[in-house]
Copies of this chain bind each other. A is one copy, B any other.
Amino acid sequence: MKLYDYSKSSAAYRLRIALNLKGLDYEKVNVNLLHGEQKGDDYKALNPQGLVPALEDKTLYTQSLAILEYLEEAYPQTPLLPNNLADKTQVRALALSIACDIHPLNNLRVLKYLTVDMALSEEQKMQWYHHWISEGFTALEKQLAETAGTFSFGDAPSIVDVCLVPQVFNANRFKVPMDAFPTIKRIVAQCETLEAFKLAHPDA
């Protein structure tokens, strides 16, 4: 398998964690977002969206959450979704609340558009960033306080943890105060004791 990857991309970070949790071997192909390689002809021929990650496993797949579902069906070892349909739906909803309602507002291309194209100041960019993290994490903290055991949903890692850890890494880079989110902090600390999460870390 070949992962089109960028170390600090939260969406790529999700897949590194999932691949590690499932014990799958993969080759990383670096697509440097800061140098704009994702917008180059070579990469756009593979993925017209010009976004990372993409995963090649005979076929080329895009969109991290679609790829997590793919991995779950193709490689069921170390399941990252519960079996029971009600639980599975709740786990998907928690992961999507990060992937649809927090991450898309705060990723590199959006922050760049705000400052470069819309000419907002660095301070306004930070106001924007902190607002959406704070709104998203406030709801998530409340939900996780009910669903969490050792991990976000019960006592095994799931796609919620796979999405949560990169989002918190990102929030920390932007110095978002985390004191109001004790459950989130506790879960992330727990995840980070696992080899699969350590090896997926952008600094690794």
What residues make up the interface of A, taking CB atoms closer than 8 Å to B? 48-51, 59, 61-63, 65-67, 69-70, 73-74, 85-86, 88-90, 92-93, 96-97, 99-101, 103-105, 110, 113, 117-118, 120, 124, 127-128, 131, 139, 142-143
Contact = CB atoms under 8 A, between A and B. Distances in A.
A162 to B, nearest CB: 15
Top 4 nearest A-B pairs by Cβ distance? Answer: A66-B92, A63-B93, A104-B104, A66-B93
A48 B143 contact: yes
Main SS of the interface on chain A?
helix
Contact of A120 (B65, B66, B118): B118
Given A49-B101, A105-B110, A118-B124, 20 more contacts: A48-B143, A51-B101, A61-B90, A65-B96, A65-B100, A66-B90, A67-B89, A69-B89, A69-B92, A70-B85, A70-B89, A73-B88, A99-B100, A100-B100, A100-B103, A101-B104, A105-B105, A113-B128, A113-B131, A117-B131
